[in-house]
Structure 1
């Protein structure tokens, strides 16, 4: 989950000797990978992936743009909620919002109070005005990621905020010396094809649920 300060920026940082062959460990079948040691290493040290201030800027921007687009955010699903920074911001600035958080890590769920869920195998019965999926899909294999996208689409009635690292990002944007490269390296086109079944790409990580029927000017969102 890369910070926004620089173009050559880190995602989840690990030992630079990690290689793509370790991507198999990123499967939801190995949730123990994201244990207490992982969180100490990547969320509490000087190279932590995000600060509370950074997520506050993100959450403020996403919710502000949602209002501009006509989406009233009354419910939020946070997928891969990690240390719960979105929850902290919402409690302070949007206390009336119904918030639900899930994570595949047993440690994160026990420590930060999330539901233990695998987004590739689970979908809630209800739909949410805003779904946040930050730094999750690239850790899933192709079949699991495709199922996860379908589940995100089924649960979103407004906007999806999505951050996922692609093969091109690893080649041109991400700081490889500080990035967890143990992920599945797919193209942006792979994701767009599957997301397009459920969403219209707005930009800056935002995708509008097709069922929402939001009106966009021609240059506001991708066509097709």
Structure 2
């Protein structure tokens, strides 16, 4: 899979203004939203894992929000690991020392098989000691929300329930894609909770 994510892939989906799926500014806003919610929940952040970090556009805004934290970028693209110094490994197999206070897993699972994705989901629980920001496009997203002109269609789409059931085993949803590891103390007012 690492060969799939070569310089041409990132040029097309991230650098070319006509075909890019996101921008550095959009990713900075996303990082700001995640950081604000994690801070509101009063969850300490000393170690950050960006699983599937790509070009690392979340790195600077997350470290600005959490200046005492260390950041590890995990990526399967050999090209990007050589260029940026990320850890070259799949989330399904990653076994570092220690756990992370904040894990970002943004748009990774659709590139994994069902077996690999289930392993990666279980690994997220093993690696987390705090907050997880999780996002993956679902079948409904592809139908109703995705810009198919700029989105990579060579992906595996699953139902939201597939992800939610696996997340619920180890995490509680706090809102906007942020989940908190079960057993970690945090509070939320009743009307702030979903459902």
Equivalent pair of 1:123/1:152 in contact (CA under 8 Å): no
Structure 1 length normalisation: TM-score? 0.81
Structure 1, unaligned stretches of length 5 or more?
1-29
1:205 aligns with 2:173: no
Counterpart of 2:6 (choices 24, 31, 35) is 35
3-state SS of paired residue (2:192): coil
Equivalent pair of 1:81/1:101 in contact (CA under 8 Å): yes
Structure 2 length normalisation: TM-score? 0.92
Report the Cα offset of residue 63 of structure 1: 0.9
Equivalent pair of 2:20/2:150 in contact (CA under 8 Å): no
Provide the C-alpha distance between the structure 2 equivalents of 1:204 and 1:91, rounded to a whole number of angstroms.
20
Counterpart of 2:155 (choices 172, 179, 183) is 183
Equivalent pair of 1:200/1:222 in contact (CA under 8 Å): no
1:85 aligns with 2:49: no
Provide the C-alpha distance between the structure 2 equivalents of 1:128 and 1:220, rounded to a whole number of angstroms.
25
Instruction: Give the RMSD, CA atoms, in angstroms.
Output: 1.6
2:46 corresponds in structure 1 to 74
1:45 aligns with 2:36: no
1:21 corresponds in structure 2 to none
2:190 corresponds in structure 1 to 218
1:17 corresponds in structure 2 to none
**Equivalent residues, number:** 194
Equivalent pair of 1:74/1:98 in contact (CA under 8 Å): yes
Equivalent pair of 1:127/1:156 in contact (CA under 8 Å): yes
Higher relative contact order (CA 8 A, sep 6+): 1
Deviations 1:170-213 (A, max 9, x none): 11111223221211121000111111111111221111111313
3-state SS of paired residue (2:33): helix
2:141 corresponds in structure 1 to 169
2:97 corresponds in structure 1 to 125
Counterpart of 2:74 (choices 99, 102, 105) is 102
Deviations 1:72-108 (A, max 9, x none): 2222100011111111223445332111111011011
Equivalent pair of 1:63/1:73 in contact (CA under 8 Å): no
Deviations 1:26-57 (A, max 9, x none): xxxx2210011111111211032322222221
Provide the C-alpha distance between the structure 1 equivalents of 2:63 and 2:165, rounded to a whole number of angstroms.
35
Structure 2, unaligned stretches of length 5 or more?
none
